[in-house]
A = this chain, B = another copy of it.
Amino acid sequence: MATVEEPTRPAGRIRDAARTKAEILDVATQEFARAGYTGARVDEIAARTRTTKRMIYYYFGGKEQLFTAVLEHAYSAIRQAEQEVDVDHLDPVAAIRRLAELTFDHHEAHPDFIRLVAIENIHEAEHIAASEQLGALNSPAIEVIRRILDAGRASGLFTAEIDAVDLHAMISSFCFFRVSNRHTFGALFGRDLVAAEQREHYRTMLGDMVIAYLTADRTED
């Protein structure tokens, strides 16, 4: 979602296939996130580009494939961020809290990505299903969680029997909801879940919640 920067050669800016393609993808990301798949207009995307609608069809084939490319690009960005997560030097409790915070921060920093995912769910993930790229590779975050979970259970700190994918769902759901549903939640309950002054409050709350669940005293069960 970062805006594509100026080409290296400012004068000879015609005939730069890579650049044209990247610019279309960038503008399309904004437009799809803004208006949804059906609401997005191919003409509008073209107009906000330095090139024409013809190029969208030349490079991507059509609206459908363009949206798939947008999703592939957006997901590859989050995967890259996840791969740079380094929590191996922390104890399990601190590591989980750190991971939850990173997830929290990433959702807050990329509302457009959240919107794209929400939109793709409205369309029942049909574009992800159509993408060869997205079906294959799964999230690095899962592997990280798995390692922390193993360490936490080995040391006896974690009592919960949750697996990595479910814990990821638990963490993501709160982070995702806070961003995706801020408008209806705000309108109905009068509370802005993404207000800057509430940020630390919710960030802490998420960590507390996850740690409480993982370390809860289960002797009484």
Contacts and interface: CB of A to CB of B under 8 A. Distances in A.
A45 B138 CA distance: 39
What 4 A-B pairs are tightest by C-beta distance, nearest first? A173-B177, A125-B183, A38-B39, A212-B216
A84 to B, nearest CB: 19
A197 to B, nearest CB: 14
Contact of A128 (B139, B162, B168, B187): B187
Contact of A212 (B180, B187, B212): B212
Contacts of A211: 216
Main secondary structure of the interface of A (DSSP, over half): helix
Contact of A118 (B129, B180, B188, B189): B180
A117 interface: yes
Contacts of A186: 125
Nearest to A125: B183
B213 A209 contact: yes
Contacts of A172: 177, 181
Contacts of A173: 173-174, 176-178, 181
A35 interface: yes
A87 interface: no
A125 B142 CA distance: 33
Contacts of A185: 169
Interface of A: 35-39, 75, 115, 117-122, 124-125, 128-129, 134-135, 138-139, 142, 160, 162, 165-166, 168-170, 172-174, 176-178, 180-191, 193, 202, 205, 208-209, 211-213, 216-217
B189 A138 contact: yes
Given A118-B122, A139-B188, A212-B213, 20 more contacts: A36-B122, A117-B184, A118-B118, A118-B181, A119-B122, A120-B183, A121-B182, A122-B122, A124-B183, A125-B186, A128-B188, A135-B187, A139-B189, A142-B189, A169-B178, A169-B191, A172-B177, A173-B177, A173-B181, A208-B213
A174 B174 contact: yes
Contacts of A217: 217
